[in-house]
Structure 1
Amino acid sequence: MRTRARVQPRLTRDLGLLAVTAMLLAGCGVSAEDRPRVIDRPGGPHPVGTSPAAQPTGQLTETICFVRDEQLVRVDRQVSDAATPVDQIRFLADGPTSAEREAGLSTALTGASRITGVRLVGREALVDVADGLVDTGRTDEMLAFGQVVCTLTARPDVDGVSFLHDSRRLGVPRADGSLSTGPLTVSDYPVHR
């Protein structure tokens, strides 16, 4: 009997709470209307989210390194899409724009055929080069390698650049005249703005 006496008040209390909750919920919300009505849009701009707006087309900046007076110079170029490493090598091979040439810029890379490929392995860019860029021993060779290193390490996903010839790491000239099989960084070449 004792157990039954406890269950009865608890059951009554639970049913009472359920009834009160149901009445409160029934009072919430929009009351039904006899017929539909038109609701005007509120005026003014209303932000849709908090994520940053995408940059408009043509507003991305890519850093390309060219040569002026036998020195590497960084140039910020506006592009419509994010450039891949292959795109950046093509920018270098194509050389400066007419406006950049008027500013005294040139390129030590004299053709896309000298660089035959580029790929990322982790945070290192591996650049395949043809015979035309190997062992010339000229200052423009150092500048050509420097242009590639300066340009590719300006990317947020590249920490260093190594050059390959016939699938083997190539010793390339740094600004101090020493040879390095990489990975090279922009600190291996003096760069000016």
Structure 2
Amino acid sequence: MITVRGLAALITISLLFTGCGVPAQDEPHPVTLPRRPLTATSAPATTEPLGEVAQVLCLVRDSRLVQAVRRVDAVPAPQQQLDQLVAGPTPNEQAQGMSTALAATELTVNLPIGSSTAEVGISETDDSAARTDAVLAYGQIVCTLTSRADIATVSFRRDGEPLRVPRGDGILTGEALRAGDYRSLIGPA
């Protein structure tokens, strides 16, 4: 006679053998992944070549930080990524209303071996110009660099000395910053 435990064991074994309804395959099959940024909305077609690595640059649209994802062939060095950020949006990104708050800014980045804090040196070419978009500019730098797997925080320096910069809430700090410090400025893609 079958006991309650025996019946429960038979039902469990039968469920294990039937699985989740996905038939077993003897050999793997290819899967085609989308070749566009996952955060993109129906953007106009681009003539730029598609690469294998997603590079994130944080640009500005309507006084908010937005991520622009560019496909490149290889992971760029942090300095290359900052140079592209300062160069500004591509024509396609401009057509989507993106701009940059980093005009007339020279940036250098140093990532000490074994550290996840990037040190960004800033020298503005025109110190007499008042910057009303400084929070966005620093937010662009921090959000771009911390989108990388090798950088968790960013600190700023001018002429080798620590530089106090505004967080997203406008408070000046000399501490290393994360993207979360600019959360209030990050807008939808």
TM-score (norm 1): 0.65
Q: SS at the partner of 2:133?
A: helix
Cα pair distance change 1:145/1:97, threshold 3 Å: same
CA deviations over 1:151-186 (Å, ceiling 9, x no partner): 000001111000101111100011111001120000
2:92 counterpart of 1:95: no
Q: Size of the alignment, in residue pairs?
A: 137
Match 2:103 to one of 101, 106, 110: 110
User: What is residue 110 of structure 2 aligned with on the other side?
Assistant: 119
The structure that has the greater radius of gyration is 1
Cα pair distance change 1:145/1:136, threshold 3 Å: farther
* Structure 1 gap segments, 5+ residues each: 1-46, 48-56
CA RMSD of aligned residues (A): 2.2
4+ residue segments displaced more than 2 Å: 131-139
User: What is residue 12 of structure 1 aligned with on the other side?
Assistant: none
Cα pair distance change 1:104/1:135, threshold 3 Å: same
User: What is residue 59 of structure 2 aligned with on the other side?
Assistant: 66
For 1:44-193, list aligned pairs within 5 A. 58-111=51-104, 113-115=105-107, 117-121=108-112, 122-132=115-125, 138-190=131-183, 191-192=186-187, 193=189
Cα pair distance change 1:133/1:186, threshold 3 Å: farther
Give the drift of 1:137. 6.1
Cα pair distance change 1:76/1:65, threshold 3 Å: same
Assess if the C-alpha contact under 8 Å between 1:114 and 1:133 holds in 2.
Answer: no
Give the structure with the larger helix fraction: 1
The AA in structure 2 aligned to 1:69 is D
TM-score (norm 2): 0.67
Q: SS at the partner of 1:127?
A: strand
* Structure 2 gap segments, 5+ residues each: 1-27, 29-49
Distance in 1 (alpha carbons) for counterparts of 2:182 and 2:117? 17
Cα pair distance change 1:64/1:126, threshold 3 Å: same
Give the drift of 1:80. 1.5
